[in-house]
Amino acid sequence: MAAGKGPSASKADQYAALRELYRPHIDSFDYFVDEGLDRMLLSIRPLEIAKGHLLPPKRDGRVDVPLYPQECRQARTSYHGEFKVDAFIQCNDGPSIRQTFNFGHLPIMLMSKLCHLRGADSEKLIFHGEEATEMGGYFICGGMERLVRILILQKRNYPMGLIRGSFVNRGAGYTDKAVIIRCVQDDQSSVTVKLYYLQNGSARVGFWLGGREFLLPVGIVLKALIDTSDREIFTSLTCCYSDHYERGKGIVSTQLIGERAQIILDEVRDLSLFTRTECLLHLGKYFRSVMEGFDKDDFETVAEAVLKDYIFVHLQNNHDKFNLLIFMLQKLYALVDQTASPDNADALQYQEALLPGHLITIFLKDRLQDWLRKSKPQEVRKILSKTSTYVGKAIESMIKVGKVNSQSGLDLPQRDGMTIQAERLNFHRISSFYNSEGAIKDFNQIKKSLIAHLVGAGMAQLLPRIERTGPPEVLHVHLDGCIVGSIASPKIEEVVNHLRSLKLLPHSGIPEDLEVGYVPLSLGGAYPGLYLFTNPARFLRPVKSLLGLSDGGPSIELIGPFEQAFMEIQCPDGGDGGRNKLFPATHEEIHPTAILSVVANLTPWSDHNQSPRNMYQCQMAKQTMGFCAQALKFRTDVKAFHLQTPQTPIVRTATYSKYCMDEFPSGTNAIVAVLSYTGYDMEDAMILNKSAVDRGMFRGHIYQTECIDLSAKSRDNVMEFFCKSNLSRETTTAIESDGLPRIGEKIFPNELYYSVCNNLTGSVRPIKLKGSEPAAIDYVAVNGTNFKDRLQKANIRLRRVRNPIIGDKFSSRHGQKGVCSQLWPDIDMPFSANTGMRPDLIINPHAFPSRMTIAMLLESIAAKAGSLKGKFIDATPFASSVKKTDENSCTSDSIVNEIGPMLASYGFNYHGTEVMYSGVFGTELTFEIFIGPVYYQRLRHMVSDKFQVRNTGRIDQITRQPIGGRKFGGGIRFGEMERDALLAHGASYLLHDRLHSCSDYHIADVCSICGSLLTATVIKSDNQKAKRDMLGLPTIKPPKNFACQACKTSKGMETVAMPYVFRYLAAELAAMNIKMELRLSNRAELPTSEES
């Protein structure tokens, strides 16, 4: 045992990096609890003042007894808290009623503010049956751990210019160009507004309402928003064009804009709408039937509501909306005239994340609205009497199933697959769930006072009004989708730099995660402007800022994907990344590994591998059978793979210790020899040393938990419960007196392991163990007593031993997977002359040349040196390129030259090879063998789960052919292509064996006279045989006892071997009145010559 280090004082900080991975989930749920819920309730219309109460999980039926997640997993229930809303409702112009509504239970995210384990230290977590490193971030629904997937959405509040063929289908005259903005309100619900370009130069505003898209002429919307004149609209639209500039850098508009503005205005005039009121009336008339709850309001109110709820919902002020719409029109025309390029909807630049808390907020809002709609707020009584608990159930089922059941679709790109099960196969798998979309800044407090800070920062003369001109003279400044001002283009760089430096200061009032998206002027590039974002759900990452060098050392700045596309970020890889001298780098990556995910970061020296191999490793790391959980005793996973004796890798990256991977190691340092030995290592097979396996290498278990709930599946409404039969006095069975198995008992397939008693009949039904391998009872848990103190619900955890056998799959950390082909005796393995070591594992040298996994070779020699020295070796990728800046360790230019001398100093070969002797002959092998420890993982694909063997067995009832499917003991299909192969080889006997003898071999009686296959009938002439039986004489061969029903004779009867399906075919054909006739070759001969 290694000398254990004492528990370090900073144990909490130990997991800080790990916790960071889970933070977006937890923070967003906290936001939902703190603010999102109330904000959302306020935005629901008939509720006047509402206050939501979400309570921490409590045990059923008891007050103030906290419910812990562990109990939920065990009992297969949900970790949820009560959800109540205090609301004033006003209906039918009557007095508003205060009422507390009970909406059932809402799932509570683990480690969120409402979780009992929030802030618990390791000891408390362990006390409550959790992992010491439990990070939460998921929900428990019906005992399953469900995780909300982070979906990618279009960036909120940013107008995107898109070209899509589908826009043409909106109607006649539509083109494929549009500007789209996804507007998100305070309560995180969103409405997408599209501005389509028409062939005639006009545009249509489109948005979805009640399942269909409404398209409005842009002029009406402009006029309905504010009291304005045609002239104002015209000048606003055309301000970005001036004859002074022709087609130059940053020009976004052309002369055509004036004509288009005219068309827009003409459209409105043609409808004889002149004033704002007329426009509102026009809209109101159109929308009153569609808008819910406005049946009795006048048209103007309806129109105002439409503008408020569907047009640019992120803005409150109609003037802001007007300005934004003008801006979108200008961008649309720039897109049409190709003075600005379309935006790429698939680029991260224009994307953001859908966070769990936000998803729940918007889905809950939708459900509450649905509930209000159903209970018809006109009748107060109905609301009060209507059950409302199904609202909570809907949320729970959304998390459980991952399906968003909503009519509106909530403006989400997909409706199902919102959640996934958080599988705990190993750390890699679970971390990849959380890390799937990178770090997401969940910044919830939207700082409304940002403008004031901008002004206060000495830019007052630049900001306050929107100039009536456009690029290239001035650039508009957007803050979260609102045009707040404009800045003259020569000064803008200064402003951006100032903003960035303010971002770095601790108390500047500018949030440290402000995204300063400065799109510079360009020729036909992205539409210019200064876009500032403070909203939540943006992606963020830290980089070193080279600007803030004044106060000593570079400081860390958080940047987003939108701004980074226009920033000069250098990577400390030694090169300049082909950067132009005109644009010096303003920022620097913290480390080149920033591009890698957590899992990819764990591959040692991945910069020395061929890139696809690193991808394979990332895949395989998630299939590794590792140390799945430390609290395995308390876990009830349906299936858990557990490695018995894992080790920590000798060669590891910095990420390994950062994320405390030693808590859940996933492999073994195996001594790997690279040589072709015995031939059993061909084609990626590998030879394991039997003695090494005997000593425990790669041994593992599978834990399977069966949850038996008799109350749920009671047959015919008859109660069942666990019980042991009183009749059987068997002592061999594992079943104890309560009908449940004894812990520790080993059970073989088809043995009984629990029994169930039927309450009505009193009959006891024992249940057999399924599968083909023995299992040990690891654990039995009884859940509650809900039927006359009889046991009805139990978890039985089975443990299956899975020691390595031929056919199991293993892999190194370099995408080099292989299958164990032999467990080779220790004495037959080659041995090293000086150390006497025999390898644990032999792989073939052919695994290397084509795959070029140099890092695996490096790992081998580095681990060898490390184990001799007694030190872990750091294998962080790109480390050598970063080191160059130090300029003091230039002695070694490659990893080999760093490690080689170390090996040599311990008396080993510089390149990690050793002289080896054949274990069989004791003679020296001709070549020196490359041997050293490599961290190997056992993958969860094991032959025991996959092998399929069959000689005879179950057959199909109709065709009498063998059935398929491993579960039923079926065979593997010998299909047409396999048949072709045998034919090509001329292996006719084998073909006959496969397709006939081993399949539906059948001897049919055929009448050679009429050729019928189906007319054979048995003649009842058994009296002779019976007589002989009575006399005790030996039975002679019975005579032919078949006759043809059609020919009324048995003379022509012949036996013919054929597939049974052929007979079946004949029967099927006969059913269709088609006669099938067989012409036997010996038909001409007399049947008398026949011997049976």
Partner 1 sequence: MERAGGGGASYQRFPRVRIRELRDDFAKFELRDTDASMANALRRVMIAEVPTVAIDLVEIEVNSSVLNDEFIAHRLGLIPLTSAAAMSMRFSRDCDACDGDGSCEYCSVEFHLAARATDSDQTLEVTSNDLRSTDPKVCPVDQARAYQHALGGSEPFDTAAAADQRQLPFLTFPFPFHEGILIVKLRRGQELRLRAIARKGIGKDHAKWSPAATVTFMYEPEIRINEELMETLTLDEKRNLVESSPTKVFNIDPNTQQVVVEDAEAYTYDDEVIKKADAMGKPGLIEINAKEDSFIFTVETTGAITAYELIMNAITVFRQKLDAVRLQDDDGDLGELGAHLVGG
Question: What are the residues binding partner 1 (CB under 8 A)?
Answer: 1, 3, 633, 644, 690-692, 694-696, 699, 701, 744, 776, 778, 799, 801, 825-827, 831-837, 868-870, 903-910, 913-915, 917, 919-924, 928
- Nearest approach, Cβ of 932 to partner 1 (angstroms)? 15
* Cβ(78)–Cβ(142) below 8 Å: yes
Closest to 823 (Cα-Cα) out of 800, 846, 805, 845: 805
Q: Which is nearer to partner 1, 490 or 825 (CB)?
A: 825
| Helix H or strand E segment including 587 | strand 587-588
* DSSP-assigned letters across all residues of 207-239: EEETTEEEEEEHHHHHHHHS---HHHHHHHHHT
877 by DSSP, 3-state: which?
Answer: coil
At residue 902, what is the residue type? M
Close Cβ partners of 462 (under 8 Å, ≥ 6 residues apart)? 485, 487, 488, 491, 495
- How many other CB atoms are there within 10 angstroms of residue 974's CB atom? 15
Minimum Å gap between C-beta 806 and partner 1 is 17
In whole angstroms, how close is the CB of 917 to partner 1 at the nearest point? 8
CB of 111 to partner 1, least distance (A): 25
Minimal distance, residue 833 CB to partner 1, in Å: 4
By beta-carbon proximity to partner 1, the closer residue of 285 and 633 is 633
- With respect to partner 1, which residue has the nearer C-beta, 852 or 868? 868
Length of the chain: 1092
Q: How far is residue 949's CA from residue 322's CA, in Å, rounded to a whole number? A: 73
Nearest distance from C-beta of residue 702 to partner 1, angstroms = 12
Peptide linkage before 472 cis (omega within 30 of 0): yes
Q: Are strands 97-107 and 80-89 parallel, antiparallel or unpaired?
A: antiparallel
Q: Residues near 305 by Cβ (< 8 Å), separated by ≥ 6?
A: 291, 294, 297
Kindly state the helix (H) or strand (E) to which residue 782 belongs, with its residue range. strand 775-782
Q: At closest approach, how far in Å is the CB of 808 from partner 1?
A: 17
Nearer to partner 1, 718 or 920 (CB): 920
Alpha carbon dihedral 443, 449, 453, 459, in 10-degree steps, equals 120
Please tell me whether residue 681 adopts helix, strand or coil conformation. Answer: coil
**589 within 8 A of 399, measured Cβ to Cβ:** no
| Cβ distance to partner 1 smaller for residue 66 or 919 | 919
* Measured CA distances, 82 to 31, 107, 385, 416 (Å): 18, 9, 19, 26
Helix (H, G, I), strand (E, B) or coil at 842: strand
Integer Rg of the chain from CA: 38
Contact yes or no for 471/521 (Cβ under 8 A): yes
**β-strand 873-874 against 651-652: which pairing, if any?**
parallel
Q: Please, which residue, 608 or 799, has the CB nearer to partner 1?
A: 799
For residue 596, give both structure tokens: 């890698």
Nearer to partner 1, 412 or 801 (CB): 801
SS3 (DSSP) at 819: strand
Backbone angles phi, psi at 438, to 5 degrees: 75, 180
- Output the smallest distance, CB 621 to partner 1, in A: 25
Q: Which of 577/744 has CB closer to partner 1?
A: 744
Min. distance of Cβ 903 from partner 1 in angstroms? Answer: 8
Nearer to partner 1, 488 or 801 (CB): 801
The 3-state DSSP composition of the chain as helix, strand, coil percent (nearest 5) reads 30, 25, 45
- In the block, which residue shows the tokens 């903003």? 499
Closest to 865 (Cα-Cα) out of 933, 814, 935: 933
- Nearest residue (CB) to partner 1, 3 versus 890: 3
Decide whether 432 or 644 has the Cβ nearer to partner 1: 644
Q: Reading across the β-sheet that carries 720-722, which strands appear in turn?
A: 720-722, 752-758, 764-768
Least distance in Å: CB of 826 to partner 1?
Answer: 6
Residue closer to partner 1, measured from CB, 240 or 796: 796
β-pair partners for 204: 196, 217
What's the closest the beta carbon of residue 123 comes to partner 1, in angstroms?
Answer: 12
Would you say 556 or 920 has its CB closer to partner 1? 920
Closest CB 644 distance from partner 1, rounded Å: 6
Q: Nearest distance from residue 629's CB to partner 1, in Å?
A: 12
Supply the minimum distance, in Å, between the C-beta of residue 915 and partner 1.
Answer: 4
* Positive or negative torsion for Cα 835, 841, 844, 847: negative
Rounded to a whole number of angstroms, the minimum distance from the CB of residue 698 to partner 1 is 13
Under a CB-based contact definition with an 8 Å cutoff, are residues 587 and 567 in contact?
yes
Listed in sequence order, the residues at least 6 apart from 184 whose beta carbon sits closer than 8 Å to its beta carbon are 156, 157, 190, 313, 314, 535
- Residue 909 CB, nearest approach to partner 1 (Å): 6
Residue closer to partner 1 (CB basis): 619 or 835 = 835
710: CB partners within 8 A, 6+ apart: 719, 720, 721, 722, 756, 792, 793
> Residue 85 or 625: which CB sits closer to partner 1?
625
**Closest to 157 (Cα-Cα) out of 388, 312, 380:** 312
CB of 858: closest distance to partner 1 in angstroms? 19
Q: Name the token pair of 560.
A: 């987003």
Nearer to partner 1, 315 or 697 (CB): 697
Which one-letter DSSP state was computed for residue 43? T
CB of 699 to partner 1, least distance (A): 7
CA atoms of 19 and 119, how far apart (whole Å): 11
- Sheet of 515-519: strand order equals 482-488, 474-479, 529-533, 515-519
Q: Which is nearer to partner 1, 569 or 903 (CB)?
A: 903
- Closer residue to partner 1 in complex, CB, 506/922: 922
